[in-house]
Structure 1
Amino acid sequence: MTFRKFAFNNVIRNIRLYAAYLLSSMFMVMVFFTFSIFSFHPDLNGNGMSTSAYIGMKVSSSIIFVFSFFFILYSMSSFLQSRKKEFGLLMMQGMSMKQIRSMVFLENMVIGLFATISGIVLGLVFAKAILLLGENVLILNGKLNFYFPIQAILLTLVAFIALFFFISLFVSYILRSNKLITLIKGNEMSKGEPKANIFLTLLAAILLVAGYGTAVLAERDMVINVMIPVIVIVSIGTYLFFTQLSVYIIKRLKTKKKFFWKNTNMILFSDLSFRMKDNARTFFMVAMVSTVAFSAIGTLYGFQSAFIKDASNKNPYTFSYESYGENEEHDVQLINKALQKEKVKANSEHMMWTSYEMSTDWTLIAKESDFNRFAKLIGEDSIEVEEGQLVVVEYPDSSISNTEELMKQSVELKSGISLQPKEVIVSKALPEQYSYYVISDLDYENLPKPIDEMSFYAWQVTDGEEGVFAVSEELYPQLNDYQFKPTEYRVYVKKKQYASVMFVGLFIGIVFFVSAGSFLYFRLYMDLEEDKQKFKSIAKMGLTERELKKILSRQTMILFFTPITVAIIHGAVALTALSHLSEFSLVKESVTVLSVFFIIQVLYFFIVRYLYTKQVKAEVL
């Protein structure tokens, strides 16, 4: 058997251990390849995608590539730690450390080559589906036809073969030559009872509480000022939580005899503090990577929903048009002709918006008849404003409402009578984000000369809605965006603007999350041989199959859900702080994103638990 054949057989024999590493690497290659397919697509550039979005996809490919480097480096280092005993046996058979390094290099290159080729092949298999998904998510004007991405294949192949080569070279170079006895005994050597430092335990709790409190209580611009300090404080607190506070909590639980001696708790908690201490870096990394994924996707999804909702709520009409006199007649005729051309029937109204100077600022005032005509246009109830009465109208869910200021002011008529506001109503009848006054028609005639006037038109479609988009698409480039406002088309434009950002953010978030799950999988399987021996010994004392499954389920659950729970709490706090910064409520979007990730983690847990339990049972029972 040649040395190369020996290295290849090593990979085949350890395929179970390498499975998650191989699949995760394949996934990263496929994601990078997918971005490359979009980047080099001949129909994409200039087909509805902005230059910034196009650059964003290029940058995202770079982020995924850099992250892949650290992911593969960490994964390979973990595997080497789990193979200490194997290296010791090989050294006993006469293999030198130089030969072991060469073997590790060849093994990693075999895995890297297979992962790269498999990732590209999978990308090609799903290319058409991915392009179809891209059409819908990116809201492109035309179709993205399938093409054979030669440039994308070459870039991915060269980039990842080079990445695996340098990582293989680096890992084999830094592989240390431990003493033979250390390698043979491996994890069997006692590490001593883990101890938690009381000061660091308290510090962990204080830092987390202080970081959470500061993030949640900060308002508006203060969120930016405290962002970096909070990230640093919470990061340190998270690391100390896994290394100190968790060990302290487990130690306290072990002192509770009723709890510790109940059923199989003794077996579960006997070495849990060792596991928490050993897994502290993995837990910390998973928690922080998952937090980044939660926060990034939650923020993008939340802001997209908020901005789209804001765009749709700002104007209740199908079309509206504002003018200060320039080209008014021409533009209105243009709109009406476009409606006729597309056979769209609509009711329309026109009024003059008048602005008046008040004690603190200028204010808009509408007369009762105008208000009621526009209210009827959108199906709202009309109002009755008596002579001498002043009503404040507030637009629903407006972020710039000035109702309180208007309630403190008064309107002076030419006759010298002062009107005091006593009532506030909420209405979308006139699409003005600021609050305004409505007075009776008689009082409106007695108002002083306005400081400004604006002509306002609105159309509400009653028939032929299928032609609304065509009308909007025709008129939007011709008319000023500040004057002509096609509500549905503006929502479409907003969706299109954020679609590319969401597409990129979603891919990066998924890569981070899959990597976090892979870290946990690697860590679990590093302890597989130790668990087999432990439970094999305990089984001789009467451990039943049901009890074994229960212990392994709880052990795997703690491993999987401790860092994810911490990450969900981190993500919830981060999204709450961001909602304070933007003044948009992100509760619904945050719950949606965090719930989806949690469900994915639950499914991942059940799959891994089944595979892990099956292997331990095969050895023990």
Structure 2
Amino acid sequence: MNNLFYTRLAIQNLKKNSAVTVPYLLTCIGSVMMYYIISSLTVNPGFARMRGGGSMAFILMLGCVVMAVFSVMFLIYTNSFLVKRRKQEFGLFQVLGMGKKHLARIMAIETLLTAAVSLVSGILLGFLLYRVFALLLYRLMKLDISWDFSFVPEAAFACVKLFGVIFLVILFYNIWQVAKARPVEMLAGKQAGEREPKAPWLLAVLGVISLAAGYWIAVSTERTAMIIFAFFIAVLFVIAGTGLLFTAGSVTLLKLLKKNKGYYYQTRHFISVSGMIYRMKQNAAGLSVICLLSTAVLVMLSSTVSLYVGLDDVMRNRFKRDYVVTVYDYSDDTAAKTDGIVESALKDAGETAKGLVSYRYVSFAAVDTGDGYEVREENLADYNSLDYLFFMTLEDYNRISGKNVSLRDDQVMVLADGRRYDRDTFSIFGRRYDVAGLKGQTVEDGMDAMGSVGSLHIVLPNFSQLEEMEKKQAEAYGEAKSRPIYYVAFDAGDGKEGSARLYKDLEERLNGLGLTCRLESAAMERGSFFSLYGGLFFVGLFLGTLFVMATVLIIYYKQISEGYEDKKRFEIMQNVGLSAREIKSAIRSQVLTMFFLPLVTAAVHICFAFPMIARLLALLNLRNVGLFAVSTAGAVLLFAVFYGVIYGVTSKKYYEIVKR
């Protein structure tokens, strides 16, 4: 037998199994196309020339990494459906006299053909659609087109490397599956797993506990320092709980339904429950993957849409004033020079400062012991009890608030930023102060604008106590100490060109101070924020599309596999007198249960995740919970409609198979 024979046989096999190979091939092409596009955007030199381009390139690079990891897992996972579907075919070849070495040769040619078509078609389509996606990205970033859209060899080479390795792994996996199985086992491959599983009560209980733990962490975590770490812990618990409940919990539930005679012995329930219970392990794996992918799509779409649509809210939260000057020294001389620089720059620009705010402060992290605050470098890792403390003088507070509050030397005023501080005293560095007043509104500052939610602002009686606080935290933290700050913020002008001139003038004058300074302008930074959040929105849409594509393919393969496995069973039912209407009713009951359970579970996941994601968005300066709620509801509704369309198509295909 020569190479031409094997090639013809491989092509014939691919054509014969087109119901499963064509969707798989289209998915491979789509994955290559999307990876080429995002890789091309990542390496494009145009980002280096734009404001905020570094953030954009970094986000796209992360998108590349996520796509690469997901492509490896997804294509290998979906390939397992094809192998299982074709095991009987491979067994028949061996019974007819073909050796495993010959089968390996055929599979190698099939994989080579699939890889060649996927890479060539995917890279070509990626090149053709690259301009469309680049234009979309530029529109999201509010930028003019500034580079060409030629072919990117680096992106094509990255596709060949990544997907070449994936197809090689798939080939070795397929050969190993055939090599380890006997012909008789492969001939019975479709009937594998027909033994009824036992109800794994322990695993079901562990699934409930794991899911409950994830939900509890999501709704109960409030401290800013803990939120990101807690989010990943909650995600791990929810993933584990979802897998265990779909695998063990579903079998346990079906066993309970089977024991309910009144329910189980209704015709449509008898067929669906008895059919599902025999293959629940295989179904559960697919269902849990579909559920997790659906949850990922909903989280990405709702959060990235909220960030992009709510950019004006983000800018208002991030920049309390048009211009913010931060000087890392608060001596009288530095304060006077900074005030003079701001005044002269405004005068030269012909502008007048509006809403000017200036004051001195010290801020640092401390651990809440319940009786006071402890400041030690080793305590910085105790995120669960960490608070951010912001100290300023009574003189500055009265000046910028327009009030006339008075404090004794042993008193402080606590501004609690929406948090309850119901203690009568405030203790730190071995000194106890009486709390003279509690205010719900904090003073604006750089840390607050950057999303340091839950910080405490403490007003001290005089400047000498502020200096003492700064020295003690410097002794406690050493190299990790915070530096004292003189803060100036004001509004001025309304034109972008004028803002650029004033910004440049201020920057040059501040550089002459010889101190570490930071100058921020809302108008100048707006482009950077569009780059950041536009990039997040783009990557969210991109990855969401990839996950939806994966969800569709897994659902399709699951329904095809279910249809072929149920065909024999429904033939028996027809032979014993089951009508076509009863068969269709039973199919609808089974498909509805299996199909919409992942969607409903994903919706429950997103509901419990909502408070934590809202807090994460607050760290990115989006505190418009109403906007996030609308985006989440819209994402769930849109995805549910799309999911329903998939249900209509696949249930029809399922019914066609079992009726043949």
**Fold agreement, TM-score > 0.5:** yes
Q: Distance in 1 between matches of 2:347 and 2:577?
A: 87
Deviation at 1:289, TM superposition (A): 4.6
Matches within 5 A, 1:111-126: 111-126=114-129
Matched, 1:148 2:159: no
Matches within 5 A, 1:166-565: 166-188=169-191, 191-220=194-223, 221-223=225-227, 230-262=234-266, 264-292=268-296, 294-295=298-299, 309-313=313-317, 324-326=335-337, 328=339, 331-332=342-343, 334-335=345-346, 349=354, 362-363=393-394, 364-365=396-397, 400=417, 459=491, 468-480=495-507, 486-539=521-574, 548-565=583-600
Which position in structure 2 is the counterpart of 1:77? 80
Across the aligned residues of Structure 1 and Structure 2, the Cα RMSD in angstroms comes to 4.7
**Percent identity at matched positions?**
21
Equivalent AA in structure 2 for residue 160 of structure 1: F
Contact 1:32–1:156, Cα closer than 8 Å, also in 2: yes
Q: Once structures 1 and 2 are overlaid, which stretch shifts more, 541-550 or 148-157? A: 541-550
Deviation at 1:128, TM superposition (A): 1.6
Distance 1:319 1:545, change over 3 A: farther
Equivalent AA in structure 1 for residue 130 of structure 2: A
Contact 2:33–2:122, Cα closer than 8 Å, also in 1: yes
Q: Distance in 2 between matches of 1:556 and 1:577?
A: 33
Deviation at 1:76, TM superposition (A): 1.7
Deviation at 1:135, TM superposition (A): 1.0
Distance 1:279 1:558, change over 3 A: same
Equivalent AA in structure 1 for residue 246 of structure 2: F
Deviation at 1:167, TM superposition (A): 2.6
Distance 1:139 1:544, change over 3 A: farther
Q: Once structures 1 and 2 are overlaid, which stretch shifts more, 318-327 or 244-253? A: 318-327
Which position in structure 1 is the counterpart of 2:25? 22
Distance 1:195 1:141, change over 3 A: same
Q: Distance in 1 between matches of 2:141 and 2:560?
A: 39
Distance 1:13 1:48, change over 3 A: farther
Contact 1:520–1:559, Cα closer than 8 Å, also in 2: no
Equivalent AA in structure 2 for residue 114 of structure 1: V
Which position in structure 2 is the counterpart of 1:616? 655
Secondary structure of 1:71's aligned partner: helix
Q: 1:589 aligns with which of 608, 624, 628?
A: 628
String of CA shifts for 1:22-65, please: whole Å, max 9, x gaps. Answer: 22211210111002221343433333354454345345324422
Equivalent AA in structure 1 for residue 199 of structure 2: A
Q: Distance in 1 between matches of 2:55 and 2:354?
A: 40
Q: Once structures 1 and 2 are overlaid, which stretch shifts more, 154-163 or 28-37? A: 154-163
Which position in structure 1 is the counterpart of 2:478? none
Deviation at 1:17, TM superposition (A): 0.9
Contact 2:141–2:534, Cα closer than 8 Å, also in 1: yes
Contact 2:603–2:636, Cα closer than 8 Å, also in 1: no
Q: Distance in 1 between matches of 2:195 and 2:466?
A: 83
Q: 2:611 aligns with which of 576, 594, 600?
A: 576
Deviation at 1:145, TM superposition (A): 3.0
Q: Distance in 2 between matches of 1:161 and 1:454?
A: 57
Deviation at 1:529, TM superposition (A): 1.8
Q: Distance in 2 between matches of 1:356 and 1:88?
A: 77
Secondary structure of 1:146's aligned partner: coil
Equivalent AA in structure 2 for residue 479 of structure 1: L
Q: Distance in 2 between matches of 1:155 and 1:423?
A: 57
String of CA shifts for 1:307-360, please: whole Å, max 9, x gaps. Answer: 8635314667666889944365664565466578xxxxxx86476867899xx9
Deviation at 1:5, TM superposition (A): 0.5
How many pairs align?
565
Contact 1:299–1:575, Cα closer than 8 Å, also in 2: no
Q: 2:638 aligns with which of 585, 589, 599?
A: 599
Q: Once structures 1 and 2 are overlaid, which stretch shifts more, 132-141 or 534-543? A: 534-543
Q: Distance in 2 between matches of 1:311 and 1:134?
A: 20
Distance 1:112 1:355, change over 3 A: closer
Q: Distance in 2 between matches of 1:495 and 1:572?
A: 28
Q: Distance in 1 between matches of 2:563 and 2:357?
A: 78
Q: Distance in 2 between matches of 1:273 and 1:301?
A: 40
Secondary structure of 2:496's aligned partner: helix
Equivalent AA in structure 2 for residue 559 of structure 1: M
Q: Distance in 2 between matches of 1:583 and 1:318?
A: 21
Equivalent AA in structure 1 for residue 499 of structure 2: S
Contact 1:132–1:144, Cα closer than 8 Å, also in 2: no
Contact 1:321–1:456, Cα closer than 8 Å, also in 2: yes
Contact 1:218–1:577, Cα closer than 8 Å, also in 2: yes
Q: Distance in 2 between matches of 1:388 and 1:600?
A: 55
Distance 1:67 1:521, change over 3 A: same
Q: TM-score, normalised by structure 1?
A: 0.74
Contact 2:200–2:251, Cα closer than 8 Å, also in 1: no
Contact 1:208–1:237, Cα closer than 8 Å, also in 2: yes
Q: 2:166 aligns with which of 146, 158, 163?
A: 163
Q: Distance in 1 between matches of 2:6 and 2:616?
A: 61
Contact 1:353–1:365, Cα closer than 8 Å, also in 2: no
Distance 1:339 1:489, change over 3 A: farther
Distance 1:399 1:64, change over 3 A: farther
Deviation at 1:99, TM superposition (A): 1.6
Equivalent AA in structure 2 for residue 610 of structure 1: V
Which position in structure 2 is the counterpart of 1:381? none
Secondary structure of 1:111's aligned partner: helix
Distance 1:42 1:222, change over 3 A: closer
Query: Unaligned regions of 5+ residues in structure 1, if any?
Result: 341-346, 372-384, 391-397, 410-419, 437-446
Equivalent AA in structure 2 for residue 39 of structure 1: T
Q: Distance in 2 between matches of 1:252 and 1:303?
A: 45
Deviation at 1:195, TM superposition (A): 1.9
Q: TM-score, normalised by structure 2?
A: 0.70
Matched, 1:57 2:60: yes
String of CA shifts for 1:471-490, please: whole Å, max 9, x gaps. Answer: 22333344359887654544
Secondary structure of 1:37's aligned partner: helix
Equivalent AA in structure 1 for residue 37 of structure 2: T
Contact 2:207–2:249, Cα closer than 8 Å, also in 1: yes
Q: 1:107 aligns with which of 110, 131, 134?
A: 110
Q: Once structures 1 and 2 are overlaid, which stretch shifts more, 27-36 or 218-227? A: 218-227
Contact 1:354–1:450, Cα closer than 8 Å, also in 2: no
Distance 1:194 1:492, change over 3 A: same
Secondary structure of 2:197's aligned partner: coil
Distance 1:518 1:399, change over 3 A: farther
Q: 1:4 aligns with which of 4, 7, 32?
A: 7
Equivalent AA in structure 1 for residue 205 of structure 2: L
Contact 2:36–2:123, Cα closer than 8 Å, also in 1: yes
Q: Distance in 2 between matches of 1:388 and 1:216?
A: 38
Distance 1:194 1:329, change over 3 A: same
Equivalent AA in structure 2 for residue 106 of structure 1: I
Deviation at 1:388, TM superposition (A): 11
Contact 2:29–2:122, Cα closer than 8 Å, also in 1: yes
Deviation at 1:132, TM superposition (A): 0.1
Contact 1:355–1:365, Cα closer than 8 Å, also in 2: no
Deviation at 1:603, TM superposition (A): 1.5
